Chains A and B, each alone.
Chain A
Amino acid sequence: MAAGRLTARSDADLIEASKRGDLSAFEEIYAAHAGRMKSIAFHLLADRADAEDAVQEAFLKIYRAAGAIEFDSGLAPWIYRILLNCCYDTGRKRQRLAESPLAAEPAAIPNNVPLQMAIRHALGRIHTQHRMVFWLFEVEGFRHSEVAAILEIPEGTSKKWLFEAKRELKRLLTESCP
C-alpha cells in the first residue's frame, strides 16, 4: 500500500495515546490518512470544499469514537468506513452526491480525449458499487482485503466488482473509440 501506512502496533499505540488526549498522536493518524481520505471524498462529492468538510467531520468522529475501535481488521478500514459515512451525510445535505459529475449520466465520451480523462468520464456511467471498488483498488491502491473490510463485503465480491467495473469501462471506452 502507499507510503504513510501504519503498522497494526503503531496504530494501536497512536489510538491509545489519542484516547488519553494526545493530539500529536492523533496528528500522526491524520498525516498518514488525510491525503487519501480527501481524494476519496472528492471522488464521491465532486467538490473540494465538501470533501474537506467530510474529512474534517470524519476525523472529529474518529477522535470521539476512538474508545470503541476494535483492531480485528485494523485501523484503516474503520477510518475509511467513517469517512464514507460522512461523505454520504455531506452529499445528502448538499444534494450533490446524486448530481455530481461522477454520479450523473454524462454525455458520450468524446473519442479524442486522453485515456485518463476518458476513464474519469466513463466512471460516472458505471454501477456505483463497481465504481467504488475500482476507485479504492486501482486509484487509491488498497488491496482487495482492505477494500472488502472498508465496504464490508467478502473479498471475492471485491474482486468480482473490480472485474465488472473494468469490463463496463472497457465497453464504454471502446464504444466511444470505434
Chain B
Amino acid sequence: MTFDCKDLERALAVPELLPDAREHAKVCDVCRRELWLWGEMSAVAPGLREDWETPDLWPNIRQTLVAQQQAAKPRGWRGSFDWRMIAGIAAALTIAVSIFMMKYSRPTPAPGTPRDSDFLTEQTLKEVEQTEAAYRASIDKLTRLAQPRLSAAENPVAVAAREKLLVLDSEIDSMRSAVNHNRFNTQLQAGLAEMYRDKQDTLKEILQRAQ
C-alpha cells in the first residue's frame, strides 16, 4: 500500500495500519509529529491527575455517618429514667387492656385475619405507595414538558442534566428492585422517595431554566 499523509487519521483508528504510518513518518515531518503527539497524549495524561491531601474528609464523613446512626437508634442514657416511666405506663396500660378485654371479650378472629399492628403497617405501606405513585405521575408530567427542551439543547448544562437523569433513572431502577424484595424496609423506601424528589427537582430546574 502507498501510504499518504491523508491516510494517517485512518491509521490512528486502525492499529494494523500503524506500521505503514511509521514508515511514512520517517520521510514526513508533519506526520512524524502527529504520530508522536498521538502517543505522547496518552503518555502524559496520567500526570493531569489531581491529587491533594484531605485529612479532614474521612473524619467529616465518619462524623456525619455516626450522627446519622445515633439518630436512628433509640435514645441512650436518658433511657434509664425514661425506661422506668415507659415501663410504668406499659404496666398500667396492660392492666387496663386486660380489664377491658375481660369485660368486652370478643371471639378470636379467624386465622389470616390481620392483627391491628399488621394492619397499621400495611396502612403505612399503602400510604407510602400512594405517595410514590403521585411522585411518578408528577415526574411523568414534568418529563413530557422537559423532554423537547432537553433533547434539543447541546449546551454543557443540558448535557449534564441529561446525564444526571440517566444516572438517576438507573439508581431508581436499582432501588425499586431492592424495595420490591423488601417492601417494608423504611430505609429503602426513604431512599427511593429521596431519589424521586431529586429527579422531580432536576426536571423542575430544567423547566425553570428554559423559561
Contact = CB atoms under 8 A, between A and B. Distances in A.
A52 B58 CA distance: 10
Nearest to A102: B156
Main secondary structure of the interface of A (DSSP, over half): helix
Contacts of B174: 65, 68-70, 78
B114 to A, nearest CB: 27
Contacts of A63: 65
Contacts of B166: 152
A116 B48 contact: yes
Among B60, B167, B175, B205, max chain A CB count under 10 A is at B167
Contacts of A139: 45-46, 48-49
Given A39-B49, A81-B171, A134-B45, A88 B164 contact: yes
Contact of B157 (A21, A52, A56, A98): A98
Interface string A28-65: 00100011001100110000100110011001100111
Interface string B172-198: 001101100000010110010000000
B38 A166 contact: yes
A115 B44 contact: yes
Size bracket, chain B contacts: 35 or more
Given A55-B57, A81-B167, A115-B40, A97 B156 contact: yes
Given A56-B57, A67-B178, A152-B170, A170 B49 contact: no
B116 interface: no
Majority secondary structure of chain B interface residues (helix, strand, loop or mixed): helix
Contacts, number: 139
A60 B64 contact: yes
B51 interface: yes
B171 A65 contact: yes
A59 B50 contact: no
Interface string A121-146: 00100001100001100111100000
B41 A129 contact: no
B66 A23 contact: yes
Nearest to A35: B51
B163 interface: yes
A166 B166 CA distance: 26
Closest 7 CB pairs of A and B: A138-B45, A68-B178, A42-B50, A88-B164, A68-B175, A39-B50, A116-B44
